[in-house]
Chains A and B, each alone.
Chain A
């Protein structure tokens, strides 16, 4: 009975796992630029009648990302935005006013793309600004990059700390038990 249950669980899960390969972006608005690499992160934001899709790709071996954006209006048959887009990326503890913006222009596939190099892993904001006849439009996205190389140090250190505390407590307890016997 248990085997049957387990088997049905596997059957339920398998199609999901197989399908998972395609979840993050195929068909994706800019997958042709990076094919077969698919974007791992993609978010949408509706700003003043524009649908902004933001994604980013890792550049292997470098502390750098390709930030990509697709902007189209929200009409039933959307038209891509054509003008330039201003990008500003700043860390969670940086002052955005102290950061230099850069401008991106639409490429042949209607995608705005900029390369961005970072020095530290961590959390960042991306602010984009674009304009049309109605004025200026802004959107802000979250960005998390990099991994800490100290994970195992922290985890190992924590386990070591607990083991040492347990050992020290054991020794103290033994000594305490012996002392009344010695004195008597």
Chain B
């Protein structure tokens, strides 16, 4: 207690030093070595094992209970209500809403996805409210839910809406500094709740979860790295099944909310792990598997354009997120030049406009670069493969790079700022309470800066290794092996090295630490 070991300030602006130079250069060298060592190494397909947890009696018992999801969602909903109350009615100077939302939830969410896949969707409080209001039951099955049951518009049956919402959220979050404002945080929570609840009255199943939910779609792509999956135990049983209960629902379970058919399910992207198929399957043919990390992303069955675009945008936005927290982007002390100050000087239209221009530019640069390199790759291959097809196939290799940069960035926030939750637990609304005796206290960071830096470099390297493996497989599928195919893949390998360098470079910059700013 009262120990300022690595971060001198509880609030306001202070700098956390970026990676020390030797660690940065070590990371750069390791990326180069790893790239060539792994990319040209022949891969064996071994190690594709599965461990079916649902064979264990207690797990099977829980998965087949209708109240399970409700029981998990209730405490999360209560926390969400605390955030809403604190944000709307708590003291606006300091309360628990921003820290709980942006440092704890948003910070840890990526770790949860990496370890537990789509568990957040299972526990989602917005989904709980949508389910109760439209199904009119807490957990039992209502075969006539309160919904118009319209089909999601055909033109919008992709994740463009989710991508748009993700970009909008980032703009609001960073442009309007929502992460430091209790009121704005609560407002965003309320908007998110309405965005989930209202479509449930209009569209069939959980169409918004499938097409529009930005959290669900981002976690969907990331969850392909997770060591957890819901799959058919025996796919042949599904193919022989005439009733398709998992898809249409029955008296024991709702239809899959995102319209998946267990027999054809091969990746985690759209599964919400709601466990309805465990209840509805008449053949007890559903497994909750533990599996090797990155199983789906290494064998991605059907690359899609919208998912590929999201992958590139994810990479660009996570990097942008990190960059905006450095004094290079905005120097609040006014002592050194920054991009925002420069854009202000060029346009003279105020910080928000400058921020928007900067965001568009930083989003566009990786996208255009990747597109250009895909074009070059297609030209070198010269086998009639279109540049866009190259981009779509290889974009999945950026997901591990984005995810592990995201983890590295959030690790810093959670380890350096996570302790800010302790005083706020005693005084969640800023009313001057001291429920647990922790109010007004300051606590040391959870980890020292050396540990955080080492963890960050290791995470970036891990993401790069997996990304390289994914790219190698995509290259094999698209171009084949040897000769010209190797040269054709080189520009995209170069792009991956560049993006991983970029991740390290951002982390080597000093960072403005603002409690709860993610």
Q: Which residues of A contact B (CB under 8 A)?
A: 13, 15-17, 19-21, 23-24, 40-41, 43-46, 54, 92-97, 121-123, 125, 127, 138-148, 151, 154-155, 158, 161-162, 165-166, 168-170, 172-173
Contacts and interface: CB of A to CB of B under 8 A. Distances in A.
Interface stretch (B18-26, B84-92, B377-385, B461-469): B84-92
Given A45-B8, A138-B334, A162 B197 contact: yes
Report the interface size class on chain B.
Answer: 35 or more
B320 interface: no
A123 B148 contact: no
Contacts of A169: 134, 146-148, 201-202
Interface stretch (B282-290, B407-415, B436-444): B436-444
B176 A92 contact: yes
Contacts of B430: 40
Contacts of A19: 434, 437
Interface stretch (B179-187, B224-232, B449-457, B496-504): B179-187
B2 to A, nearest CB: 11
B332 interface: yes
B194 interface: yes
B12 A43 contact: yes
Given A165-B198, A166-B133, A23 B432 contact: yes
- List the 10 closest A-B pairs by CB distance, nearest first: A20-B434, A141-B12, A140-B13, A169-B201, A138-B333, A46-B8, A43-B11, A140-B332, A23-B440, A45-B9
Contact of A173 (B10, B146, B334, B352): B146
Contacts of A21: 432
A142 B92 contact: no
Interface in B258-300: none
A94 B434 contact: no
Nearest to A172: B148
B332 A127 contact: yes
Contacts, number: 142
B146 to A, nearest CB: 5
B94 interface: yes
5 contacts: A16-B433, A16-B434, A20-B434, A122-B181, A169-B134
A176 to B, nearest CB: 8
B93 interface: yes
B214 to A, nearest CB: 19
Contacts of A15: 437
B12 A142 contact: yes
A151 B148 contact: no
Given A146-B92, A147-B92, A165-B201, 19 more contacts: A16-B433, A16-B434, A16-B435, A23-B427, A40-B91, A43-B10, A54-B12, A94-B350, A95-B350, A123-B177, A127-B332, A140-B12, A140-B333, A142-B514, A144-B181, A145-B93, A162-B198, A166-B146, A169-B146
A169 B146 CA distance: 7
Interface of B: 4, 8-14, 88-89, 91-94, 133-134, 144, 146-148, 176-177, 180-183, 187, 190, 193-194, 197-198, 201-202, 332-335, 341, 344, 350-352, 426-427, 430, 432-437, 439-440, 514
Given A95-B351, A173-B148, A166 B201 contact: yes
Contact of A162 (B176, B183, B194, B440): B194
B358 to A, nearest CB: 14
Nearest to A152: B88
A169 B149 CA distance: 9
- Residue picked from A23, A122, A147, most chain B C-beta under 10 Å: A23
Given A95-B344, A155-B190, A20 B12 contact: no
Contacts of A127: 332-334
A169 B202 CA distance: 7
Contacts of A161: 194, 198
A41 B94 contact: yes
Given A19-B437, A24-B440, A151-B88, A44 B432 contact: no
B435 A45 contact: no
Contacts of B4: 46
Nearest to A21: B432
Nearest to B352: A93
A94 B341 CA distance: 12
Given A166-B201, A169-B146, A169-B147, A16 B92 contact: no
Contacts of A94: 350-351
B10 A44 contact: yes
B176 to A, nearest CB: 7
Nearest to B353: A93
A41 B432 contact: no
A54 B176 CA distance: 24
Interface-centre pick from A44, A139, A140 (highest chain B CB count, 10 A): A140
A152 to B, nearest CB: 9
Nearest to B89: A151
B333 A141 contact: no
B432 A24 contact: yes
A139 B334 CA distance: 10
Contacts of A142: 11-13, 180, 514
Contacts of B14: 45
Nearest to B182: A144
Contacts of A122: 181
B181 A139 contact: no
A115 to B, nearest CB: 17
B133 to A, nearest CB: 6
B437 A16 contact: yes
Contacts of A144: 92-94, 180-182
A138 B433 contact: no
A147 B429 CA distance: 14
Contacts of B182: 144
A146 B202 CA distance: 38
A17 B350 CA distance: 45
A141 to B, nearest CB: 4
A40 B11 contact: no
Nearest to A43: B11
A168 B201 CA distance: 9
B331 to A, nearest CB: 9
A161 B181 CA distance: 25
A46 B15 CA distance: 11
Contacts of B144: 173
